[in-house]
Amino acid sequence: MRLFSTLLLLAGLVLLSPAPADAQIRASELASMTQMIDGTEIRVEYYRPRARDRTPLFGGDEAVVWEPTWTPGANWATKISFERPITINGTTVDPGVYSVWIEMDEGLMPKELFLEPDTMIFHTAGPPRADDQISWPVQLQDAPFYRELLTWDFLDYSTSLGSSGGTLAMHWGDHWIPLEVEVEPSMTAVVTEEQAANAVGTYEVRMLAVAPGETEPQWSPPFTIEVVWDEESGILRSDFEGHPAPWFNETDFWLLPTAADGFFMPGEAYDGEFRESWADVRAEFEIDGPSSTVYYTDPTGTIIEGRRIGN
Q: How many residues are given for the chain?
A: 311
With contact defined as beta carbons under 8 Å apart, do 217 and 301 qualify?
yes
Q: Dihedrals φ, ψ of 196, to 5°?
A: -75, -25
Residue 270 above 50 pLDDT?
yes
Domain 193-310: give its CATH code: 2.40.128
With contact defined as beta carbons under 8 Å apart, do 293 and 306 qualify?
yes
pLDDT tens digits for 206-264?
988 887 788 888 888 999 999 999 999 999 999 999 998 899 999 999 999 887 777 89
pLDDT tens digits for 124-145?
899 999 999 999 999 999 999 9
pLDDT of amino acid 213:
81
Residues 167, 179: Cα–Cα separation, whole Å: 6
Q: How is residue 221 annotated by DSSP?
A: P
pLDDT of amino acid 274:
83
3-state SS assignment for residue 26:
coil
pTM greater than 0.75 (yes/no)? no
Closest CA to 21 of 30, 12, 13: 30
pLDDT tens digits for 1-39?
444 444 443 444 444 444 454 555 667 899 999 999 888
Contacts of 143 (CB under 8 A, 6+ apart): 171, 173, 174, 175, 176
Largest CA distance in the chain: 100
> CA-CA distances (angstroms) from residue 89 to 48, 93, 180?
24, 10, 5
3-state SS assignment for residue 195:
helix
What amino acid occupies position 279?
A: A
With contact defined as beta carbons under 8 Å apart, do 208 and 218 qualify?
yes
With contact defined as beta carbons under 8 Å apart, do 117 and 132 qualify?
yes
Question: What mean pLDDT do residues 157-181 have?
Answer: 86
> What is the domain partition of the chain in residue ranges?
21-183, 193-310
Closest CA to 220 of 108, 305, 126, 116: 305
